[in-house]
Structure 1
Amino acid sequence: MTRIIPSLWYAEKADEAAAFYAALLPDSRVDSVTSLPADSPSGPAGSVKVVSFTLLGRPFMAMSAGPFERFNHAISFMIECDGQEEVDRLWDALSEGGEVEQCGWLRDRYGVSWQIVPKALGEMMMDPDRTKAARVAQAMMTMVKLDVAELKRAYHGA
C-alpha cells in the first residue's frame, strides 16, 4: 500500500527530538536510529543519523544532517487535545527551550512548528451560528496558549 511519511530535517539531535516527542504522545515510539557509514558523502561516520519513529500510531522519519538554511516553516503538526490539562502538558513540554507564538502555535527547541489546539475549538469554529464562531475566533486571536474556558466563554457570549 502506498503511504505518506512525514520527514523532518534537523541540524542535529534528530534522535533526541524523536525520543522527546515519543515520550509525550501515546502510541508513540522510536523504531530505529541508524548512523550513515563512513563512506557517506553527507559527512563523517556517525555524523548523519536517520531516525524512524511513530507518533500517535503514524510513521515519521527524521534526519540529523547539519544546517539546512532553506527549511520551510510553512509545515506544522497540529495536536487536537481533549481538554485544558492536555493542552497545558503538551504546550509546556514542547515550548520549553523553544519559541511561543500566537493562537496556539509554537516552535520547539528543535525548530519544529506545532499547533496545540483543544478539540472544542474546531467544534465551536464550525458552529452554524457564525456569530458564536466569530466570537471564538476573536478570542483565539488574543491568546498565545489556548485557554479552553475562555474560548467557551466567548462562544456563549459571556
Structure 2
Amino acid sequence: MAELSPIQPCLWFNDQAREAMEYYVSVFPNSRITSIDEYPDESLDEHFSGMSGKVLNGQFTLNGVDFVCLDGGPQFTFNESISFVVACRDQEEIDRYWSRLSHVPESEQCGWCKDRFGVSWQIIPANMNELTRRPEQIRVMMGQKKIVIDELVNA
C-alpha cells in the first residue's frame, strides 16, 4: 500500500471506482493509478457478499493531487455540495476539460459541471477572481454554463 498524503479526498462509488480512476487519469495530465486493493473472495466471509473483485481501496493521483476511492455500494451518492476546482490557463484548457467532464447538461452553471459518475467539477480560469471584479462580469458569469473568458473580459 502506498503512503498516504496528509489530507486527501476519498470518493465513494457504488461499484465504479476502477472505471472512474481509469477515466480520471486519462483526463488529467501527470496522473496515474498508484494502487488498487480488492475486496477478498466473498466465499471467505458473508460480509463481502457481492463485493469480490471490487475496489476496497484505490489510490490515484490527478495532476499531482492524491485521491483515494472505494466501491462501497449504493448507500451514498455524490452531490453538488462538494466539488473539485480545476484552475485552467486559458480557454482552450477550459474547453478541453469541459468536453471530457461535463455529462449532465442540467447541472451546468457558472463553470460547474457534473461528470458521468456524478462528481461535480468547477472548470474555471486560474485568474477567475480578476475576471469577476465588476458587477457586470458577475452577471455574465452567472448566466454562463461553461466559462467563456472573452465574455467576462468584455463585460
Q: What is the TM-score of this pair, normalised by structure 1? A: 0.83
Would you say 1:33 and 2:36 are equivalent positions? yes
> Are the aligned partners of 1:121 and 1:151 in contact in 2 as well (CA < 8 Å)?
no
Aligned residues: 147
**Structure 1 gaps, min length 5:** 128-132
Give the whole-Å Cα distance in 2 for the aligned partners of 1:22 and 1:48: 16
**Bigger mean CA offset, 72-81 vs 42-51:** 42-51
Identity value in percent: 39
Alignment of 1:26-65 (within 5 A): 26-38=29-41, 39=44, 41-44=47-50, 45-65=52-72
- Where 1:111 maps in the other structure, the secondary structure is coil
Cα deviation digits, residues 32-59 of structure 1 (max 9, x gap) = 1221102462433223442100012121
Where does 1:116-135 land on structure 2 (aligned, <5 Å)?
Answer: 116-125=123-132, 127=133, 133-135=134-136
The structure 1 segments of at least 4 consecutive aligned residues displaced by more than 4 Å after TM superposition are: none
Shift in Å, 1:150: 0.5
Choose 76-85 or 24-33, whichever is displaced more.
24-33
- The answer to whether the 8 A contact 2:36-2:55 is kept is no
Q: CA RMSD in A?
A: 2.0
Could you state the TM-score of these two structures normalised by the residue count of structure 2?
0.84
Question: Cα distance 1:70–1:20, how it changes in 2: closer, same or farther (>3 A)?
Answer: closer
